[in-house]
């Protein structure tokens, strides 16, 4: 369970998140939607303790992220798949993260196998395509077998087979009772993957409801999303 309460984040005079509250429940895939600059990534960074909120809080399982010991065993996150040292191998990249949380090399090798990177595990990550980096990022998020997953744009750059793999992975993780928060701009993909939606614009909550309640018969998620966010599109926002 992820809880965001009255969250506010200002960067100078820019308000990135403006009194945002919502909950992400276990057992379903929750889609996190909003135009560029709506505050999705900022909200995720605050929940993960990377950025300090101006006010309010983000909690996971009722606790602040920064207070967790071995957090990878509770929460898995993919924020930016291209964030790898280009000279480090995929295996070493995962092992540096695993070691901090007492996770062994066997788990690293098994994950590389399951995300389809076993054959390139010793290759430098700088040689990877965006799709391969996404798979590496997913593997990093799954290292500690966490009950909560937060993934920012995990399908960017994936081939059709990879897109389907992510979709089925997210759905099976949610079916196991895990909490899955997934952000994406791909509405057709989100319509296939998510059960529940949280839509924000300009840092505020626009909708927090079940997919069925948001999209009337005969309309697509894209139509419903564009209708809801029509007033919130802000080009050139800071973050």
- Residues of this chain that bind another protein (CB under 8 A): 45, 48-52, 65-68, 71-72, 75, 77, 79-80, 82-89, 92, 95-97, 99-102, 140
* Helix, strand, coil distribution of the chain in percent, nearest 5: 40, 25, 35
Of the candidates 29, 93, 103, 51, the one whose C-alpha atom is nearest the C-alpha of residue 72 is 103
d(CA 66, CA 190): 30
Select 75 or 207, whichever has its Cβ closest to another protein. 75
Cβ at position 69, least distance to another protein in Å: 9
The length of the chain in residues reads 239
Query: At its nearest, how many Å lie between another protein and the CB of residue 231?
Result: 28
The residue (of 77 and 170) whose beta carbon lies closer to another protein is 77
| Degrees, nearest 5: CA angle 185-148-49 | 80
Residue 23 vs 101, nearer CB to another protein: 101
Which residues does 69 contact at the CB level (< 8 Å), separation at least 6? none
Instruction: State the minimum distance, in angstroms, from the CB of residue 166 to another protein.
Output: 19
Q: How far is the CB of 187 from another protein (least distance, A)?
A: 27
CA 65 to chain centre: 15
Q: Report the nearest approach of another protein to the CB of residue 150 (Å).
A: 10
Smaller CB separation from another protein, 91 or 225: 91
Of the two residues 86 and 231, which places its CB atom closer to another protein in the complex? Answer: 86
Main-chain phi, psi angles of 160, to 5 degrees: -55, -40
């Amino acid at each position: 369970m992820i809880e965001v309460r009255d969250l506010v984040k200002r960067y100078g005079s820019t308000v990135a998140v403006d009194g945002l509250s919502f909950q992400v429940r276990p057992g379903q895939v929750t889609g996190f939607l909003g135009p560029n600059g709506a505050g999705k990534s900022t909200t995720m960074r605050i929940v993960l303790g990377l950025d300090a909120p101006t006010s309010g809080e983000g909690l996971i399982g009722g606790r602040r992220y920064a207070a967790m010991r071995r957090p990878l065993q509770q929460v898995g996150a993919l924020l930016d798949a291209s964030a790898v040292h280009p000279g480090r191998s995929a295996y070493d990249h995962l092992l540096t993260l695993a070691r901090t949380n007492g996770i062994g090399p066997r788990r690293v090798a098994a994950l590389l196998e399951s995300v389809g990177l076993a054959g390139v595990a010793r290759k430098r990550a700088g040689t990877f395509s965006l799709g391969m980096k996404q798979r590496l990022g997913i593997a990093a998020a799954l290292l500690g077998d966490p009950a909560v997953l937060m993934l920012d744009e995990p399908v960017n750059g994936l081939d059709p087979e990879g897109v389907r793999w992510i979709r089925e992975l997210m759905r099976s993780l949610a079916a196991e009772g895990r909490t899955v928060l997934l952000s994406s701009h791909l509405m057709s993909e989100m319509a296939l993957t998510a059960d529940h939606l949280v839509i924000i614009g300009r840092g505020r909550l626009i909708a927090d409801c079940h997919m069925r309640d948001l999209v009337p018969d005969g309309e697509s998620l894209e139509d419903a999303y564009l209708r809801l966010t029509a007033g919130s599109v802000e080009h050139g926002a800071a973050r």
